[in-house]
Structures are given as structure tokens and as C-alpha cells.
Amino acid sequence: MTAVEQTRHLATAIPGPNSSALIDRKAAAVSRGVGTTMPVYAARAGGGIVEDVDGNRLIDLGSGIAVTTIGNAAPRVAAAVAAQAGEFTHTCFMVTPYEQYVAVCEHLNRLTPGTGDKRSALFNTGSEAVENAIKIARSYTRKQAVVAFDHAYHGRTNLTMALTAKSMPYKHGFGPFAPEIYRAPLSYPFRDAEFGKELATDGELAARRAISVIDKQVGADNLAAVIIEPIQGEGGFIVPAPGFLATLLAWCRDNDVVFIADEVQTGFARTGAMFACEHEGIEPDLIVTAKGIAGGLPLSAVTGRAEIMDAPHVSGLGGTYGGNPVACAAALATIETIEAEGLVARAAAIETLMKDRLHRLQADDDRIGDVRGRGAMIAVELVKSGGTEPDAELPKALCAAAHAEGVIVLSCGTYGNVLRFLPPLAISDDLLHEGLDVLEAALRHLS
């Protein structure tokens, strides 16, 4: 197979005739509940480009929602998947185990923050791993309650819907939700600033506000776990004020509460560290990973302190496909690629490039309220001119304009007013600049 040409190219209007035909087939065959962001159907992808079924080549600033971090169809992954598929595709680890599963767990134990004795368990999706982290925490503490945060996203299964904050589209009409889930206030510097500079910059203060809510409304004696994304993803790429996570973690340690970091979106080099917790200098009890772990194959994991991970009884954890051998082969190739190609440093370089441009854009456009994020996980929060009132229409219009010009870009945020960038680390600087040029022009045009 030849590599996808690394240029943006519009062969037809977006969508072209072949995508349009597929859009009609989808409407007739696929549940309406499954929505799509882009109006084009993919044919091939690699580097920083997704090529559609009409021969259009689009700049990829989404990585399939932070999954193909090392690049799509990355050479080591493609080769490892093909080789493993030729040997065996499944035996079920719970029936006839295989080395690849153990090897992925060894790498996770080595790579995640914390030097103590660790164990891992493998699953298929981020939601499934989050559910298992909660099961493990409950088994270890023999307590039931779980605290999640405002703006959190942890998945779409029943327990993870309960943990997720936003109603539409994730929860609306799908209740009742799992019991014993409580919500605490987050540190959201851009919005906390309305309540004073201190709260916006002092993470310890914001953590004390959350701890007070937890203490009074749940009580540590009932609380099994606190779960948090070190940088919230779907909620709007919210980076908490320094000290917020460390203060929460310290409180958890003092109160026999398991601290779970959901690094499903932030993990595996995405933020300019292998894991986002490293930026805060914290070592969570449990860490949940998925997405970037296996270059696009479905794999997820829970990793953590051995005494916690070993709390569930034998055969208390599992699932038919968890740690599928093809997905494990992809994960081993992904980890090898990150380390061999120095991709953690590449993510940090992408942060510098993007923030530099976006800050300059912000300087003469007061609709950009905030520029934030880490590594190749960068966002702009869009507001009504000069204020802080969220503007959800502008990102919609910007995304539509970018899509029509051949740039894949996504929005997010509780208020739907955040434009987020999750480029693959395999993208060139030229393509990144070109993608931002397109957005900059669209922003000017929409003023």
C-alpha cells in the first residue's frame, strides 16, 4: 500500500457524490441515534491526512477523537496487526491466555506514574475500563459511593452515563442511572475567575470547595472512589488550577478513598507527557486508559497499586474480548512507536506551535475567551465579544466552514462553545499551520 499523500486536496465539493450516496444509505440502515460529525466517508488515512471516498484529502485535527495519536495505519501497528491476525485472532484470555496480554500489562505498570508494585487488567472500551475501575475500588474499600465532577465525561454505558455530567446528548431520556454517584465542583480557571482571582489560580482553594461538598453530601465513610479526568476532555479541555488534583489526592489518601484518574483521552503521549498526571506530579491509585493505547484498535485498561488491583476475587473481572490479542499486538507496536520516535516531545512541540498561533489570534479577536490545554490537546473557548458568555453558534459555524475547506476539527464543552484540536503526532508542521490558516480565515469571515 502506498502512503497517503500529505497534502490537503479538494477533488469535489464536500461531501462529494460517493459520500452523499453513503449518507443516504446510512440514513436507511443505521440508527438515527448514531450521529456523525463529518459529512464525508473515509477511505484511507495516515500521517496528518484522512482521504475520503471521493478522493478529497482532509487535514486531520481530530485523530478520531484522540485515538490515532501515533498516526493512522501507523506502520508498526499495521504490521503487528497483520502478523497477529495470521497467528490467531482470539482464544479468550480467560480460557487460553497468551503472552501479548501480559506484555501490555507489564508496559502499563512500567509507564504509568508511581514506582510501587502495580497490576493491570485489560478491557475493550474506555467506558468498560471506567466501570471496572469502580468495581475494583468498591471491592477494595467495601464502600459504595463514587464522586465525579462537574463537566465530567466518562462514557455512555449505564454506570458511566451516571458519572458523565452533560445531559444532552449523552443521558437525555436514557435513565434511570446508577445510584450512589455524587457530583462535586471542578476547578475551571476561566469560569472560576467570575468568583474571584484566587479561586481561578489557587487549585488548593478550589479543591477545598470540592472536598467540603464531598464531606457534607457524601461522607468519606461511604465513599469508595473519586474519579476525575486530569484534563477534562468532552467537558471542554479544562486544565484545573495547579494544586487542585494534588490536594484532592491527598484528601483521598487520608480518608481511605481510591483516587481514579481517567486518562482515556489524555493518556499515551497526547499531552506532552506519557500521562497527564505527570504534569501535576501526582500518582493516582488507579489509572484508566484507552483510545491512544492501541493505534485505533479497541483496547482499554485499568492500572494501579497492586493491593487495590488484587482486591477483587478470582474471576471477578473479565469479559469475552478484554485484551484481544490483535488489539494487544497493536498496543505493543504503539508503545514501541511512541518510545522509538520520541512522540512525547513531539506533542510538546505541537503545543508550542499551536498556542503561539492561537494566542496571537486571541490578541486581536475578543471572541476567543481562553486558549488552553497541553501538548496536542489544545482548545479555544469562544465567547460573546469581550465577555465570558458562551457562544455555541460560532464553533458550529467554524467547524462547518473548516469541514467544507477540508479540515477535520471538533467542538466540545458543556456549553458547546469550545473548539478543540487533537492532531495526530505524525502530522507535519506545515499541515498544522495550513489547518490553522483555514480556521483563521473562517473566523475572520464570520466576524
Verify binding: residue 154, ligand PLZ, rule CB under 6 A: yes
Which amino acid would we find at residue 141? T
For ligand PLZ, which stretch binds (CB under 6 A), given 20-28, 87-95, 112-120, 154-162? 154-162
For ligand PLZ, which stretch binds (CB under 6 A), given 148-156, 269-277, 388-396, 402-410? 148-156
Verify binding: residue 308, ligand PLZ, rule CB under 6 A: no
Which amino acid would we find at residue 331? A
Q: How far is the C-alpha of 220 from the C-alpha of 205, rounded, in Å?
A: 19
What residues contact residue 28 under an 8 Å CB cut-off, 6+ apart?
Answer: none
Q: What size, in residues, is the chain?
A: 447
Verify binding: residue 126, ligand PLZ, rule CB under 6 A: yes
Region class of 171: left (phi > 0), else alpha (psi between -120 and 50), else beta: alpha
For ligand PLZ, which stretch binds (CB under 6 A), given 126-134, 277-285, 357-365, 367-375? 126-134
User: Minimum distance between the CB of residue 73 and ligand PLZ, rounded to whole angstroms?
Assistant: 20
Residues 124/209, Cβ–Cβ less than 8 Å? no
User: Minimum distance between the CB of residue 295 and ligand PLZ, rounded to whole angstroms?
Assistant: 14
Verify binding: residue 125, ligand PLZ, rule CB under 6 A: yes
User: Minimum distance between the CB of residue 186 and ligand PLZ, rounded to whole angstroms?
Assistant: 13
In the set 112, 127, 139, 187, which binds ligand PLZ (CB under 6 A)? 127
Q: How far is the C-alpha of 88 from the C-alpha of 81, rounded, in Å?
A: 11
Site string for ligand PLZ, 29-68 (x = CB under 6 A): ------------------------------------x---
Q: How far is the C-alpha of 421 from the C-alpha of 375, rounded, in Å?
A: 10
Describe the chain by its helix, strand, coil percentages, rounded to 5. 40, 15, 40
Residue nearer to ligand PLZ on the CB measure, 48 or 126: 126
Which 247-266 residues touch ligand PLZ, going by CB under 6 A? 262, 264-265
In the set 290, 294, 309, 317, which binds ligand PLZ (CB under 6 A)? 290
Verify binding: residue 413, ligand PLZ, rule CB under 6 A: no
Phi, psi of 358 (to 5 degrees): -70, -35
In the set 60, 234, 283, 351, which binds ligand PLZ (CB under 6 A)? 234
Verify binding: residue 156, ligand PLZ, rule CB under 6 A: yes
Q: How far is the C-alpha of 41 from the C-alpha of 56, rounded, in Å?
A: 10
- Cell numbers 484511507 correspond to 44
User: Minimum distance between the CB of residue 233 and ligand PLZ, rounded to whole angstroms?
Assistant: 4
Q: How far is the C-alpha of 48 from the C-alpha of 148, rounded, in Å?
A: 34
> What are the C-alpha distances in Å from 233 to residues 25, 153, 264?
32, 7, 9
Residues that bind ligand PLZ (CB under 6 A): 65, 125-127, 130, 153-156, 229, 233-234, 262, 264-265, 290
